[in-house]
Structure 1
Amino acid sequence: MAATRSARDLTQGPVFRHILRMVLPMSLGIVAMMLVGVVDAYWVGRLGTAQQAAVQFVFPVSMLVMSVAIGLGAGAVSVVARAAGRGDHGRTRRVATDAVTLSFIVVAIVAALGVALIDPLFRALGATEAMMPFVREYMVIWFAGIVFMVGPMVAGNILRALGDAVIPSLIMVAAAVINMILDPILIFGWGPVPRMEVQGAALATLIANLSVFVMAMAIIIWREKLIDFSFPGWSELLWNWREIARIGVPAAGSNTIGPLANTAVFAAAAGFGEPAVAGLGVGMRVEALAIIPLFALSGSIGPITGQNGGAGLTHRVREAFAKSFLFCLGWGLFVAVVMALLSPLLAPAFLPGEDGQAMARAYWLIAPFAVAGYGVAMAASAGFNGLGRPLLGVAVNLFRGLALVAPLAWLGALWGGATGVIWGLFAANMISGLVIAAVVLRLCPLTAVDGRARRASPPASPLSAGSGAPPAPASHSAPDGDKP
């Protein structure tokens, strides 16, 4: 096991090789999970309009829960990667255990509140009386099973923090495959299985997540031996939870800035009619599929900056940022050229009207040439989370989303009409990418930091005597200045 972990040590070997080794399998996992949403929509759509609307109406709530999960995952990545980078295997086990425990507690609270508030919440969101029975059928099961959804996400993030990108991606693919197989069986009732309709769609998701939850927990408990069943004492436990929350809460909030900025972009386009909105929406959705590797990069750089920052290898942290930004530039330009060439074929495939097609073509001819700037912002924010500097990550997203994207989209609309909205988005991504890259590489501190210092922990209990965990240091704080 030690040899396996050594082979995944992100503080050794070429930094760019680690980036590619993390990004490629995660891209596959993201593709698989996106397909689940498409397959769900297809099968539920065959039940009727009210059922389809009810399930799609769940999306804003599910995104809120996903923000909580992303925050917990970011906190887990940061604390585990920094401990692993320091070579403190005992502390790595301890913080991994406490990250999993905290995720269970938080998700259980969210699930209980969600089930209790289904009716008032969805009525406030605008669900109709025809939709509400289907919303209840779906959401009771969905909320009951979110612990099995978030658990594998946090476990996968812990494995990524230790440099293992393959197993977490296989877990994502397995969940997607099981879900897609079960969807038609449970929705329509094949063979001895009764027809469950909307409940079947929710149950398929629950069973898929439960299956990979068992798989993920087995891996981190028995293969990686990352769960320490001893009680560390309230002082250390609460300190670890605070440290995870110190990263996770800002990360979860930061994750909502991009969708808010996109809402402003759509609002700017709405003044030019439904074709403009439809064309913009199709353009952005297709582009999102094309830049999956950039999303994967944002999920991969945290372990690299965290481990190297924890080890005090600031020069490797800077290299990780620089080469991630170059990856964004290369992939972004590749996507831009391909989408520009394919735009005459893509537009009529997705949109029936000429006005909508014109908007989509304009989007693919303009916006992708600056999408690298969006990738730079995502990578910078996630990299700072890995270093234990989440407020810098929030600042990055605020700068891009609220200081640039929203106002420039509206200014573009005023000066250039519907196409001006696209030019505003182009300018925002171009400016944000250049500014963020320059500031990160030349001005920002790139050392890893923990939260406030804590007192030394008492000796480990006899239950963990065999773990080889050294006594916790008096403080895990790191200096703010650069180290060579």
Structure 2
Amino acid sequence: MRHVIVMTLTGSVGLMAVFVVDLLNLFYIAQLGEQELAAAIGYAGTVLFFLTSFAIGLSIAGTALVSRALGAGDRDKARRLATSSLIGMAVAMAVLSATMLPASTFFLASLGASGRTLAIADRFLWMVVPASAFLGLGMMYSAILRAVGDAKRAMWVTLTGGVVTAILDPLFIFGFGLGVDGAAVTSIISRCAMAYMGLRGVTLVHRLTARPVLSDVLGDIRPIAAIAVPAVLTNIATPVGNGIVTAMIARYGDGAVAGWAVLGRLVPVAFGAFFALSGSVGPIMGQNVGARQFARVRQTLVDALVFLSLYGVAVWLVLLVLSPQVVRLFDATGTAAAVIAFFCIYASLGWAFNGAVFVGNAAFNNLGFPTYSTALNWARATVGTVPFAMAGAWIAGPDYGAQGIIAGQAAGGILFGILSMVICFRVIDRMATRPPTDPPAPAGPPSGLSPFTSGKGATAGT
């Protein structure tokens, strides 16, 4: 539990700094007093969330492979894999960014943006998206530092981005009078700063990078892709589900989208420890899987659930008490204020179950069952979101449809959080009975292995 808490809290400070960047951008934009600007940032953030989730998926592969190599005592292999992971991240993010930009208007319009709101959001994307490679590198550097157990430096990689934003945002937005463009410039600078801090920690301090060798990089593509592809598919399910909800909420006007935009940036900051927890238990599990210490793997999952429960309730109580202040902080009125208040008072309580899904994803990726993460996350983003959100909107009626959508999404998250943990415990119990000579399965259960039964044929307990 101490290991889980230390890795999570240090990781959450740094990771929340990434989310604070977006929150501060929206906060300062909200002070300009134009609802269209806040809504535009909300639409643009939904698209950027896709790129961020893609980068997180790639970094999961780096964390899993490097931590396994370190757990097995092979530092040269860890160094080679870290180098290949960084190169893969840079190339993949550059290609994805270049592919997405020409279609940015289409994506924004599909989410419900129109008129001046669409034009502002599109301009913001064209400025920020080209810097996505630096964001990806910063995340991969942080992931490698977590894999080696250096939680403090991993924290400072992402914390740097938050510090830079806190200093430069008011300067560019208000001091230079650039408005939304100023927020975009600040985002670019903060991403470059993150990459620089990560480079120092991984290369200069831990010397976990090597001179790139083309044959080594090409040879590492397959093991990286074995984890990265399902991890990316798993992670992009979340922004896809978020995009669906955004499009549904857009039917209730720019006010509802503005309120949803605030929640989209408030939630990662308030519940940043959940995201950090999933990134922290991965290396812990990965090293213990490499050492075949499955009792510790199971205990890590138990401790993670205890942490999720206590932290989730604590954050809900804080949001419950401070909901009026949150509404005033972002100058929200009308539908926007109602959406924010509803989430803080009611729907935020269900977020602990979303944390369980994140932890389950990290566990499956490091246990050698990444396709389980993919299947569960996409199921949650589709059948666990759309019908629940539609039902919530129908029950709430036209006057409270946006709140009903949020309530329905929360209900789906609760269901899939429970399902994810049930399957995860069964996978761990089943792996513990496998002979030591059997290699971990890279992308699914080996023949005859079912996660729903224990090693002795009885139902595995949770």
Are positions 1:220 and 2:205 aligned together? no
Aligned to 2:413: 429
Q: Classify 1:238/1:450 alpha carbon distance in 2 versus 1 (closer, same or farther; 3 Å).
A: farther
Are positions 1:408 and 2:391 aligned together? no
The letter for the 2-side match of 1:429 is G
Aligned to 1:313: 293
Structure 2 distance, partners of 1:223, 1:439, is 39
Are positions 1:352 and 2:343 aligned together? no
The letter for the 2-side match of 1:65 is L
Q: Please tell me whether the aligned partners of residues 369 and 442 of structure 2 are also in contact (alpha carbons under 8 angstroms).
A: no
3-state DSSP of counterpart to 2:385: helix
Structure 2 distance, partners of 1:368, 1:176, is 24
May I ask how many residue pairs the two structures share in their alignment? 433
TM-score by length of 2: 0.78
Deviation at 1:75, TM superposition (A): 1.2
The letter for the 2-side match of 1:208 is S
Q: Classify 1:255/1:48 alpha carbon distance in 2 versus 1 (closer, same or farther; 3 Å).
A: same
Aligned to 2:373: 393
Aligned to 1:24: 9
The letter for the 2-side match of 1:314 is F
What does residue range 157-168 of structure 1 map to in structure 2 within 5 Å? 157-168=143-154
Deviates more, 1:83-92 or 1:202-211: 202-211
What does residue range 333-352 of structure 1 map to in structure 2 within 5 Å? 333-343=313-323, 351-352=332-333
Q: Please tell me whether the aligned partners of residues 278 and 359 of structure 2 are also in contact (alpha carbons under 8 angstroms).
A: yes
Aligned to 1:298: 278
Deviation at 1:363, TM superposition (A): 4.1
Structure 1 distance, partners of 2:119, 2:404, is 43
The letter for the 2-side match of 1:38 is L
Q: Which has the larger radius of gyration?
A: 1
Structure 2 distance, partners of 1:77, 1:68, is 15
Aligned to 2:161: 175
Q: Please tell me whether the aligned partners of residues 231 and 373 of structure 2 are also in contact (alpha carbons under 8 angstroms).
A: yes
Query: What do residues 72-100 of structure 1 show as CA deviations (whole Å, max 9, x unaligned)?
Result: 21111111111112121121111111111
What does residue range 62-141 of structure 1 map to in structure 2 within 5 Å? 62-113=48-99, 117-118=101-102, 121-122=104-105, 125-126=108-109
Structure 2 distance, partners of 1:202, 1:346, is 24
Q: Classify 1:296/1:125 alpha carbon distance in 2 versus 1 (closer, same or farther; 3 Å).
A: same
The letter for the 1-side match of 2:303 is K
Deviation at 1:55, TM superposition (A): 6.0
Deviation at 1:258, TM superposition (A): 2.7
Aligned to 1:440: 424
Q: Classify 1:385/1:408 alpha carbon distance in 2 versus 1 (closer, same or farther; 3 Å).
A: same
Structure 2 distance, partners of 1:36, 1:283, is 14
Q: Which residue, out of 446, 449, 452, partners 2:440?
A: 449
Q: Please tell me whether the aligned partners of residues 313 and 349 of structure 2 are also in contact (alpha carbons under 8 angstroms).
A: yes
The letter for the 2-side match of 1:207 is I
3-state DSSP of counterpart to 2:209: coil
The letter for the 1-side match of 2:11 is M
The letter for the 1-side match of 2:416 is S
3-state DSSP of counterpart to 1:24: helix
Structure 1 distance, partners of 2:317, 2:89, is 42
Q: Classify 1:405/1:446 alpha carbon distance in 2 versus 1 (closer, same or farther; 3 Å).
A: farther
Greater helix percent: which structure? Answer: 2
The letter for the 2-side match of 1:90 is D
Structure 1 distance, partners of 2:339, 2:174, is 39
3-state DSSP of counterpart to 1:403: coil
The letter for the 1-side match of 2:7 is M
Q: Which residue, out of 183, 186, 198, partners 1:204?
A: 186
Structure 1 distance, partners of 2:289, 2:122, is 46
The letter for the 2-side match of 1:313 is Q
The letter for the 1-side match of 2:162 is A
Q: Please tell me whether the aligned partners of residues 146 and 280 of structure 2 are also in contact (alpha carbons under 8 angstroms).
A: yes
3-state DSSP of counterpart to 1:240: helix
Structure 2 distance, partners of 1:203, 1:343, is 31
The letter for the 2-side match of 1:296 is A
Q: Please tell me whether the aligned partners of residues 277 and 304 of structure 2 are also in contact (alpha carbons under 8 angstroms).
A: yes
Q: Please tell me whether the aligned partners of residues 173 and 180 of structure 2 are also in contact (alpha carbons under 8 angstroms).
A: yes
Q: Which residue, out of 348, 360, 378, partners 1:368?
A: 348
What does residue range 260-279 of structure 1 map to in structure 2 within 5 Å? 260-265=240-245
3-state DSSP of counterpart to 2:316: helix
3-state DSSP of counterpart to 1:256: helix
Deviates more, 1:419-428 or 1:270-279: 270-279
Q: Please tell me whether the aligned partners of residues 449 and 480 of structure 1 are also in contact (alpha carbons under 8 angstroms).
A: no
Q: Please tell me whether the aligned partners of residues 243 and 450 of structure 1 are also in contact (alpha carbons under 8 angstroms).
A: no
3-state DSSP of counterpart to 2:156: helix
Are positions 1:381 and 2:367 aligned together? no
The letter for the 2-side match of 1:295 is F
Deviation at 1:121, TM superposition (A): 3.4
Q: Classify 1:28/1:132 alpha carbon distance in 2 versus 1 (closer, same or farther; 3 Å).
A: same
Deviation at 1:19, TM superposition (A): 1.0
What does residue range 273-288 of structure 1 map to in structure 2 within 5 Å? 286-288=266-268
Deviates more, 1:122-131 or 1:384-393: 122-131
The sequence identity of aligned pairs, in percent, is 30
Q: Please tell me whether the aligned partners of residues 92 and 226 of structure 1 are also in contact (alpha carbons under 8 angstroms).
A: yes
Alignment gaps of 5+ in structure 2: 433-438, 456-462
Aligned to 2:460: none
Q: Classify 1:228/1:128 alpha carbon distance in 2 versus 1 (closer, same or farther; 3 Å).
A: same
Structure 2 distance, partners of 1:176, 1:136, is 24
What does residue range 228-239 of structure 1 map to in structure 2 within 5 Å? 228-229=210-211, 231=213, 234=215, 236-239=216-219
Q: Please tell me whether the aligned partners of residues 86 and 141 of structure 2 are also in contact (alpha carbons under 8 angstroms).
A: yes
The letter for the 1-side match of 2:211 is F
TM-score by length of 1: 0.75
Q: Please tell me whether the aligned partners of residues 283 and 364 of structure 1 are also in contact (alpha carbons under 8 angstroms).
A: no
Are positions 1:36 and 2:21 aligned together? yes
Deviation at 1:339, TM superposition (A): 3.6
The letter for the 2-side match of 1:213 is A
Q: Classify 1:449/1:54 alpha carbon distance in 2 versus 1 (closer, same or farther; 3 Å).
A: same
Aligned to 1:253: 233
